[in-house]
Structure 1
Amino acid sequence: MQRILQAGEIEALDRTHFPRILLPSPASLFAERAARVRQLADGNPIADYLHFIAKIIDAQHTAVATLAATPLDKAVLAQAQAHSMPLLPALEHIDPAWQGVLDTLLDTLSADTGSGGLPEPLQPLIAALRELNADERDAIARKLLQKEGSARDIGISPFVMAALQVTFAQRASQLSESDVPYTDPATICPVCASEPVSSVLRIGGPMAGHRYLHCGTCCTEWQMVRVKCSHCESTQGVRYQGIEGGKDVVMAETCDECGSYRKIINQEKDPLAEPLADDLASLMLDLLMGDTKYQRASPNPLLYVAVAEEESSAP
């Protein structure tokens, strides 16, 4: 007897089908990211900084276990689907649980008294961050989500963004691919409306050879063809620049139309490459790009130095 196949069954039989959305798995995401950062620290000029960032990511992994599942509002999901808009725009859906995650991060880091623990110059900043009330913390979080971090917040911004990242990734992990609408523009995260930190050429299974943009806030990935600029979607004047003599694991994808660049991470060159970690560890490429006409399209959430420096130098 013949029967009608459902959509999911049809896709399973289609050898050309590949996932449009890759949702985060917080239980393993941060542990794997921390391991990659430590690997990239070996012989890196910014090794000390990377080891410290790995400690923050370790603390993120610890904080994941403290979060309970957050019920998803079906009406909100339906509205986003109906209007092709991001499901849970970050500025409008900051989970109050992020405050507890932040405290967990700070407690975990403060308890680490060994090598690579909380640097002494940051301790007064962290003490001040602990003393802020919920409204003051939320105000800083909103500024950072809008890329408005000031020089005053430069020391605490990685901790704030790390806490937000945990809560948004945990919420995104409860979704299914079918929950996530097709959105316009395709250059922002279809889950939380944030910008991608970088893009990645994936390997393995149906994802092999496809480029995904990696959200710096909720860690969702969404597929975008290689021939388009990941910032303005232009197909004209897209080029790639790297460090001479490098392995081309990390390249700067530049666009003559909008004058921006965003890094593209190639797992075909290194299967262990990770979007946020490899972006962070390749600051030398950012320094070299600073001598060109191209501006970085969006910052790394754990590194807001450029944003703060630009603001502090403004007239």
Structure 2
Amino acid sequence: MTQRILDPQQIESLDPSAIPRIRLPERFAFFSTRAVRLRHLADHNPIGGYVRLMAALVDAQQEALEHCSASMPSREAIANAQHHCMPILPALSGERDPQWRAVLLRLADHVEAAGAVAPALANVLAELRAMDEAQLDAQADAVLAQRYAEVAPATAPFIMAALQVVWTDLASRIDERDIPYVDAPGVCPVCGSPPVASIVRIGGAYQGYRYVQCGLCGTEAHVVRVKCTNCDSTKGIAYHGIEGGNAALKAESCDECQTYRKIGYQEKDLDFEPLADDLASLTLDLLMSDAGYRRASPNPLLWPDVPGDR
């Protein structure tokens, strides 16, 4: 069967109300699907060992998600978010369900039990377990605000993974009708976090439409194609790929803000997963850096040493 992909002009001409605005994460397999993709992408990958480690961490996320039930926002909080066009579960509010710390320890235990732990990883897990509640919350604040200098690149992915579990749990239980329209470009309408990458989907109501996937809660929001997902510009948009590489994966650059995010096309690779494919395509990041572009936001599972890095 031939799948029809709509071009940007066709999408712009459609009634916006006919396009599904949001795709909420499906909790029963959200992380497990990502873990499978990571293991597939780890083969013949220059950072294959790290990708496999993250696959084990993502497996642990799925297990933790099955036992997670964070406190949902009140109707008053939802109404306030709608009135002010703000995210319904703002990550930067300074408030979060305290069970995220228990999730973090659960993830560490799962990764440790999954196989042989190298000394460097053992030190990272020990460092996380040694932190008290105040230290952990300070690290979570820094990770969510992308204050790079305050977070060790080795511990940040584990902290972010625990936060992802809690916010994905919440996002998977939200009534889509309660989610406000948020004016700021590049902001998740559920949690206010930046997207990690985008995907042009196939099948059903999502056929041919592009969605950006939030790096924290996993919510996907519709964005018209050939538009910068960072600054909303439609000028100076270009697409870059690796010759002989995965034809489904491109880097979408913007000359207005000099940033890029990756974009995947399900018509060329049905199993494309935004976070996993972004993480496993370091060569494309190096190409974009050499071309003078910077990442619009880091991959949640590969923290940069300094701003502007991966």
Structure 2 length normalisation: TM-score? 0.90
Does the CA contact (< 8 Å) of 2:202 and 2:266 recur in 1?
yes
Does the CA contact (< 8 Å) of 1:149 and 1:157 recur in 2?
no
Question: SS at the partner of 1:85?
Answer: coil
Q: Pairwise mapping of residues 224-303 of structure 1 onto structure 2 (< 5 A)? A: 224-303=223-302
Which residue of structure 1 lines up, in the alignment, with residue 132 of structure 2?
Answer: 133
Q: CA deviation at 1:32?
A: 0.6
Question: SS at the partner of 2:20?
Answer: coil
Q: CA deviation at 1:247?
A: 3.2
Does the CA contact (< 8 Å) of 1:188 and 1:196 recur in 2?
yes
Q: CA deviation at 1:18?
A: 3.0
Q: What is the CA deviation profile of residues 180-205 of structure 1, one whole-angstrom value per residue up to 9, with x for unaligned ones?
A: 11111131000110000011111111
Which residue of structure 2 lines up, in the alignment, with residue 58 of structure 1?
Answer: 59
Does the CA contact (< 8 Å) of 1:239 and 1:255 recur in 2?
yes
Does the CA contact (< 8 Å) of 2:167 and 2:217 recur in 1?
yes
1:265 and 1:172 map into 2 onto residues whose CA distance is 23
Structure 1 length normalisation: TM-score? 0.89
Q: Which runs of 5+ in 2 are unaligned?
A: 1-14
Which residue of structure 1 lines up, in the alignment, with residue 28 of structure 2?
Answer: 27
Question: SS at the partner of 1:154?
Answer: coil
Which residue of structure 2 lines up, in the alignment, with residue 222 of structure 1?
Answer: 221
Question: SS at the partner of 2:290?
Answer: coil
Which residue of structure 2 lines up, in the alignment, with residue 207 of structure 1?
Answer: 206
Q: CA deviation at 1:309?
A: 4.1
Q: What is the CA deviation profile of residues 6-54 of structure 1, one whole-angstrom value per residue up to 9, with x for unaligned ones?
A: xxxxxxxx9x823110011222101110001111112222211111110
* Structure whose alpha-carbon radius of gyration is higher: 1
1:158 equivalenced with 2:160 (yes/no): no
Q: CA deviation at 1:146?
A: 1.1
Does the CA contact (< 8 Å) of 2:23 and 2:221 recur in 1?
yes
When the two structures are aligned, how many residues end up with a matched partner?
293
Letter in 1 for 2:99: A
CA spacing shift, 1:151–1:77, aligned 2, 3 Å: closer
1:247 and 1:235 map into 2 onto residues whose CA distance is 25
Percent identity, aligned pairs only, is 48
Question: SS at the partner of 1:263?
Answer: strand
Does the CA contact (< 8 Å) of 1:260 and 1:296 recur in 2?
yes
2:47 and 2:149 map into 1 onto residues whose CA distance is 23
Letter in 1 for 2:188: C
Q: CA deviation at 1:280?
A: 0.5
Q: Which runs of 5+ in 1 are unaligned?
A: 1-13
Letter in 2 for 1:101: V
Q: What is the CA deviation profile of residues 213-247 of structure 1, one whole-angstrom value per residue up to 9, with x for unaligned ones?
A: 10001110100000211000011101101111223
Question: Which runs of at least 4 in structure 1 moved beyond 6 Å after TM superposition?
Answer: none
